[in-house]
Amino acid sequence: MVKLAEGKKWAENIITRRYTDYELDSIVEGRILLLDCFQPECLGAATVARKNNVETCLDMYFHQKLADLLRNITYCIPSRRTAASFTGETDPEAMCRKILSLGPEVVGVTLGEEGSVFMTKKGEVVRQKAFKVQAVDTTGAGDVFHGAFCFGVLQGWSLPKIVEFSSAVAALKCRRLGGRAGIPSLREVEEYMSLNKT
């Protein structure tokens, strides 16, 4: 746990926005920190998390200091569109390799109806097919995927199991209208996965 005095020093020296002591403690009291690139504070939050051995998961979009941010990220999961724009690559595995070279331990590229591809620094490759559902609204599917991924990490699951679970959660969310209304319960996901294999 970060000491408050140290937190203040970090806030002054390495974070573009000054955090309150409460905010600093919130960053480091968990086991994983989920970030997106919309907030300018995410670089500072990721740096604080890294210094305190808190894993980070990034829903990657463009950020003016993205290279600096990626050095502090454990799991980076961009969409194909974002990964292609950032890396200049067209092959998902090539996208993963390029982003891995910038710091993350694990990179996954989500491919919509084609599923996803994940790769680790150790060379493990996980290819996940998409679950087939009657999609009504894909709003929030990516957010739900990232949240489910963090849940799987906290359970200590293997990467293939985490990715399969996250894919199922995102697919089930798409069956209902609205970003939140369709989020399934853990029981729903488990029952669905027991009956549907990709």
pLDDT at res. 64: 65
pLDDT at res. 81: 94
The structure's pTM equals: 0.87
pLDDT at res. 10: 39
pLDDT at res. 179: 79
Closest CA to 119 of 95, 149, 145: 95
- What are the mean pLDDT values of the chain's consecutive 10-residue runs (198 residues total)? 41 51 83 86 87 94 80 96 93 97 97 96 96 89 95 98 97 88 92 86
Residue spans per domain, the chain: 1-55, 77-128, 130-198
pLDDT at res. 17: 56
Q: What kind of fold does domain 77-128 have according to CATH?
A: YefM-like fold (3.40.1620)
Query: Could you give the CA distance from residue 108 to residue 95 in angstroms, rounded to a whole number?
Result: 9
What ranges make up the beta strands (E) of 6-160? 32-36, 55-59, 75-76, 106-110, 116-120, 125-128
Residue 36 pairs with which residues in a beta bridge?
59
Beta carbons of 111 and 93 less than 8 angstroms apart: no
Rg (alpha carbons) of the chain, rounded to whole number: 17
pLDDT at res. 7: 41
Beta carbons of 69 and 46 less than 8 angstroms apart: yes
User: Which ranges of 58-140 does DSSP label H, i.e. alpha helix?
Assistant: 66-70, 80-87, 92-100
